[in-house]
Structure 1
Amino acid sequence: MLYPELFKQLEAVRWNLDTDIPWERFDAARLSDEQAQTIKMNAITEWAALPATEMFLRDNREDSDFSAFMSVWFFEEQKHSLVLMEYLRRFRPDLAPTEDELHAVRFEFDPAPALETLMLHFCGEIRLNHWYRRAAEWHTEPVIQAIYETLARDEARHGGAYLRYMKRALVRCGDEARSAFAKVGVLMASARRTAQALHPTNLHVNAKLFPNDTVQSRLPDPAWLEAWLDRQIRFDAEWEGRVVERILHNLSLLFGRSFASVQDLNRYRKELGRGAQPA
């Protein structure tokens, strides 16, 4: 089982909301209304770990090890929402999310193949790590900068934990896992070719609710994410390239084959699809 070891690893570096966030450094003059609004949107987005956890537990009912790990992932992701809300409660209480706004992002996700979902969230953690690192640079208020740096480190650790389960899947499922990971990897490393941000919270997950079936579509400002990325934190081609590089690097190590580009990964995916033995 991976859960006991992962629990110990994450427990050892877990931060305390009261003592590890430098609340005393708050500088009101360095927090704009625009910046505060983005904190509210991120707080609500992080709350969507709730329906994601419900999805994971439903679709991994036969995997008690991974399901147990969800207790750690869910706790830490919900704490992300909590620390952002605590920041607003202390310094901009007028923008603190309401319970109704939080509950709006709790809706059922359609069942999906567990391997594809695992890879999707692995890539999502990599992307969110980079988004939060960029957000820490864009913000000018010291406390929220420290918060985003803290959250970014958590997301990187979560990605590492998902990677451990991906390695386990290769042993258990072989080419089925390779095909699932390669397929989703091609999608998630191709953001520059799409009009939307490729993150689990921005993908359609419930056909009956379409088009109001992404987490982002259920925020108070559904257009927030694109504006945050493009005009505010300026998540440009250089930063997107870093995300792609990390996805390709990790898949290269996972599969024991070098992928210098998305095209390389896609060729590998096609080889698997033809039933060929990848070189």
Structure 2
Amino acid sequence: MLYPELFKQLESVRWDMDKDIPWDRFDASMLSDEQAQTIKMNAITEWAALPATEMFLRDNRDDSDFSAFMSIWFFEEQKHSLVLMEYLRRFRPDLVPTEQELHEIRFEFEPAPALETLMLHFCGEIRLNHWYRRASEWHTEPVIKHIYQTLSQDEARHGGAYLRYMKRAIGKFGVEAKAAFAKVGVLMASARRTAQALHPTNLHVNKTLFPRDTIQSRLPNPEWLEHWLDKQINFDAVWETKVVERILHNMSLLMDRSFKSVQELNRFRKELGASLTGAAPASSAA
């Protein structure tokens, strides 16, 4: 089992909200209303760990090891929401999310293949790590800069834990797992070809609720994410390239094969698909 080891590892670096956040360094002159509004949106988005955990537990009933790890992931992700709300409670109480605003994003996700969902969230952790690093740079107020840096480090550790479970899955399921991971990897590393930000909170997950079946669509301001990325933290092509390179690097480690581009990963995906169906490999064109 991976859970006992991951518990020890993550427990050893867990931060304390009272002791490790420098609340006394707050500088009101360095926090704009625009910045404070984005903190509220991020606090609500982080609350989405609740429905995501319900999804993971439902779709991994046959995997007690991974389900146990969810106790760590859920706790730490909910603490992200909590520390952002605590910041607002202390310094901008008018913007603290209401219980109804938080509850609005708790809805059922449709069942999905467990392996693909695992890869999706692995990529999501990589992306969020980079988003929060950029957010820390954009903010000017010292306490919230420190908070976003702290959260970004958590997301990186979570990505590492997911990677451990992905390696285990390849050992169990072989080509099937590799094909699932490659399929989602191509999707999540292709953000420059899409009009929307590729993160689990921005994907449709319940067709009966469409179009309000993404986390972002159920926020008080459904358009905030694109504005935050494009106009505020300026998550530009340079930063998007960092995300893609990180996904490709980890896929290279996972598959024991070097991927320098999304096109190379896509060709590998097609090879795996052909081996699963017994057909000849498709054209190498991406």
TM-score of Structure 1 vs Structure 2, range by shorter chain: over 0.9
AA aligned to 1:77 is E
Q: Does 1:206 align with 2:206?
A: yes
Q: What is the alpha-carbon distance in structure 1 between the residues aligned to residue 267 and residue 102 of structure 2?
A: 42
Partner of 2:34: 34
Partner of 2:24: 24
Partner of 1:247: 247
Deviation at 1:33, TM superposition (A): 0.1
Partner of 1:172: 172
Q: What is the alpha-carbon distance in structure 2 between the residues aligned to residue 106 and residue 23 of structure 1?
A: 30
Partner of 1:268: 268
Q: What is the alpha-carbon distance in structure 2 between the residues aligned to residue 272 and residue 255 of structure 1?
A: 11
Partner of 1:122: 122
Partner of 2:228: 228
Q: What is the alpha-carbon distance in structure 2 between the residues aligned to residue 198 and residue 59 of structure 1?
A: 22
Q: What is the alpha-carbon distance in structure 2 between the residues aligned to residue 252 and residue 71 of structure 1?
A: 29
1:232-263 CA deviation, whole Å, 9 max, x = no partner?
00000000000000000000011010000000
Q: How many residues align?
A: 278
Flag structure 2 segments of 5+ consecutive residues without an equivalent: 282-286
1:35-69 CA deviation, whole Å, 9 max, x = no partner?
00000000000000000000000000000000000
Q: What is the alpha-carbon distance in structure 2 between the residues aligned to residue 150 and residue 37 of structure 1?
A: 20
Q: What is the alpha-carbon distance in structure 2 between the residues aligned to residue 274 and residue 97 of structure 1?
A: 49
Counterparts of 1:5-24 in structure 2, within 5 Å, are 5-24=5-24
Deviation at 1:179, TM superposition (A): 0.3
How well do the aligned residues superpose, as a CA RMSD in angstroms? 1.0
Q: What is the alpha-carbon distance in structure 2 between the residues aligned to residue 256 and residue 50 of structure 1?
A: 34
Deviation at 1:210, TM superposition (A): 0.5
Flag structure 1 segments of 5+ consecutive residues without an equivalent: none
Partner of 1:87: 87
AA aligned to 2:31 is L
SS in 2 for 1:227: helix
Deviation at 1:30, TM superposition (A): 0.1
Partner of 2:132: 132
- TM-score (norm. length: structure 2): 0.96
Q: What is the alpha-carbon distance in structure 2 between the residues aligned to residue 42 and residue 232 of structure 1?
A: 13
Deviation at 1:111, TM superposition (A): 0.1
SS in 2 for 1:9: helix
1:51-104 CA deviation, whole Å, 9 max, x = no partner?
000000000000000000000000000000000000000000000000000000
Deviation at 1:205, TM superposition (A): 0.2
AA aligned to 1:73 is W
1:175-207 CA deviation, whole Å, 9 max, x = no partner?
000000000000000000000000000000001
Counterparts of 1:59-78 in structure 2, within 5 Å, are 59-78=59-78
Q: What is the alpha-carbon distance in structure 2 between the residues aligned to residue 99 and residue 274 of structure 1?
A: 49
SS in 1 for 2:214: coil
The runs of 4+ residues in structure 1 deviating greater than 2 Å are none
SS in 2 for 1:127: helix
Q: What is the alpha-carbon distance in structure 2 between the residues aligned to residue 272 and residue 75 of structure 1?
A: 36
- TM-score (norm. length: structure 1): 0.99
Partner of 2:189: 189
Q: What is the alpha-carbon distance in structure 1 between the residues aligned to residue 190 and residue 67 of structure 2?
A: 29
AA aligned to 2:110 is D
- Percentage identity across paired residues of the two chains: 82
